[in-house]
A and B are shown apart, each in its own frame.
Chain A
Amino acid sequence: MVDLVQLIISGTATGAIYALCALGFTLLWQASGTINFAQGEFVMVPAFLMLFFINTAGLPMWVAFLLTCLVAMVLLGYTFKRAMVDPLIRHGVIPLVIATLGLSIGVKQLVKAGVTAQAQPFNSIFPDGLLSLGALKVSYMDVGTLVLAGLIVISLQTFLNRTVTGRAMQAVAQNTDSARVLGINVARMVLYTFLINAVLSVVAALLVTPTYLAKFDMGESIGLKAFYAAIIGGFNQTRGALLGGVLVGVLENLTGAYISPAYKEGVALMLFLVVIIFKPEGLLGKTEERKV
């Protein structure tokens, strides 16, 4: 029983990281109809940026983190939108999807060829060791991950629901045309979404890289999980991404421990396929109205 609870807690922590990526993924989809297949590389690039700021520039962790957020907003937010999404989205979803696939390969190989093909260590911001709650032992890293990811999600939700800008962004997400009629600066709101996605990716990188190690292909796995999570939870619901992320994380852990470590990914994957086929709007999603 204690094991089960422990597995669920550590699964939730991993799932929280998936959820951060999935959240960015769904935000982009809602605001601009972008399916970003380079989402995993959006986590890998900040990991290397942070390493650069820490190791080469010799900056402390938090400065490196803030600087990386800034660079990511410019590079993975603004530039990504202006150089790729804006010119492509007019042609429909598919050319953009193909272009993000190209981006994913391009960025990965660029890091591999230009930086290193080998994995690099990345220190956790949380201490090693275990927190004992009676018989239950939880690592500081899992607790820290849960708290930080939770804080980010809550503040994002508050921003989206309580501020004028946030509500304007939601209005754009729901219906671009009527938002425009209401006098909302649609272009700006969409840009905000891209910036938020960039920051979420940096946080995910901060949390996941100590375990995954910084490597050019580290984004493949996390990008895929974020994708599962977004679809399972509901492509057009931010809450869906959270549920999906946690579900994937917990299912992986439980499958790994009780069914077969070799099929760790299997159950989440089956759920993903079942959702696509039987409930394509996702567990929490509403039926798609957007005309693609």
Chain B
Amino acid sequence: MKKFNLIPVSLFGLVVANGCFAQQGPIPIVGLVELSGTGATAGTNFDNGVKLAVKEINAAGGILGRKIQYTSMDTQSAPQTAKALAQKAVDEKAYVVMGPVFSGSFIVSMAETKRAEIPNFTGGEAANITQQGNPYVFRTSFTQSTAMPKLARYIKDAVKAKTVAIVWVNNDFGKGGRDSMTKALEAQGIKVAADVSTDPGQVDFSAAVLKVKQSNADAAFVYTNEEESARALREFRKQGYAKPIIGETTLTGQKVIELAGDAANGAVAHVGLTVDAPQPQIKAFDQKFQAEYKYKSDHNGMKGYSGMYVVKAITEKVGKLDSKEFAKALHGATIRAKDYPGVLLDVHFDANGDLDRESFLVKVEGGKQVVTATLPPVSPIQ
């Protein structure tokens, strides 16, 4: 499953190459991705998505006639490693940096790309990433403050729950989601009956699930990373939990369904991207990804893939390779799927680097994600 990129970099190889961004030769793009550690599932998918897009773009002649040279580096899901590698990406004069996917790592590493004025795409969803006035940060997925209100409305209108138990993972991603969700639920007049924190990498969810059951809430909202989501779903099943289990994108990811098996059936989630969406360009992506990697992409694969196409679209709009101009042009930009099918859905970036587009409600049935509804963008894309 893991691909090797043979880049023998010695200390001597790090010796300064002077001059600024080269205007000839391949375009260096660096991926800071979680290829091991707790974020391995998310990071590997994101990386594979980027690689697929790069392969296609290069096969079609590259960007502005220049090939992309993509290098991925493993952050080991550790923020300090991500930060150090971000320095390395800056050293290598990356045009754009993709990742990290994990919010916790990104918040730490983005200081380096900001200082070097290099646009940095993240797969992270934590609300605070784009609230710090960093003009070089862009998302490939929704911020939690966009996603949670959509979901809270669904919990009120469709599930008709009066009380909800929240199970969340205690890291930047989980805490941000839990805070956004608590606010969104309050706005809908729904009570949080239990607030259960869990650890990153936690293996035993028996106490957490028991707490949810004790709370007697009408539904459970589970907001953890992929592997933990699978373990939680298995524990819910083991303890015979019969009420609705609702989540965000991570709860119903491909890997989660694979890991949780039958226990994933019935789980409902709001997802920003899913390969099971009805759009033809997403179907096409699904096929290409499966042909390349022999498995089904999750949302992170789509984030990496579409993010790379955003890079292509905006660079072509700017007309030259200029990191600063790129960042300026992306703020407020709209990219349409009919012009660039690789962005998968019409997408609009706001002044903070947050994005807006359609999203989906999915339910896991018979080990498959089924799209039950398509939700419109928060504000219509002009």
Contact = CB atoms under 8 A, between A and B. Distances in A.
A7 B206 CA distance: 8
A217 to B, nearest CB: 8
Given A116-B1, A128-B262, A213-B230, A264 B207 contact: yes
Given A116-B1, A128-B237, A257 B259 contact: no
A210 B234 contact: yes
Interface stretch (B50-58, B110-118, B192-200): B192-200
Contacts of A112: 36
Interface string B255-286: 10011111100000000000000000000000
A256 B259 CA distance: 24
B190 interface: no
A14 B204 contact: yes
B36 A6 contact: no
Interface residues of B, number: 36
Contacts of A213: 203, 227, 230-231, 259
A129 interface: yes
Interface in A246-287: 252-253, 256-257, 261-262, 264
Contacts of B204: 14, 211, 252, 264
A175 interface: no
A262 B210 contact: no
Interface in B160-189: 170
B77 to A, nearest CB: 10
A221 B227 CA distance: 15
Interface string A190-224: 00000000000000000000111101001001000
A139 interface: yes
A60 interface: no
Given A3-B210, A6-B210, A261-B208, A121 B260 contact: yes
* Interface majority SS (helix, strand, loop, mixed), chain B: helix
Contacts of B235: 211
Contacts of B206: 10, 14, 253, 256
Contacts, number: 88
Contacts of A116: 1-2
A155 interface: no
Nearest to B237: A128
A211 B208 CA distance: 14
Interface residues of A, number: 34
B230 A119 contact: yes
Which interface residue of A10, A117, A213 has the most chain B CB atoms within 10 A? A117
B210 A7 contact: yes
Contacts of B197: 261-262
B364 to A, nearest CB: 14
A261 B150 CA distance: 29
Given A116-B2, A262-B170, 11 more contacts: A14-B206, A117-B35, A117-B44, A118-B1, A118-B255, A119-B41, A121-B258, A121-B261, A139-B238, A212-B231, A213-B231
Interface of A: 3, 6-7, 10, 14, 112-113, 116-121, 123, 128-130, 137, 139, 141, 210-213, 215, 218, 221, 252-253, 256-257, 261-262, 264
19 contacts: A6-B210, A7-B207, A14-B204, A113-B2, A117-B35, A119-B41, A119-B255, A119-B259, A121-B260, A121-B261, A128-B237, A139-B238, A139-B239, A211-B231, A218-B203, A257-B210, A261-B199, A262-B199, A264-B207
Interface of B: 1-2, 35-36, 40-41, 44, 170, 196-199, 203-204, 206-208, 210-211, 214, 227, 230-231, 234-235, 237-240, 255, 258-263
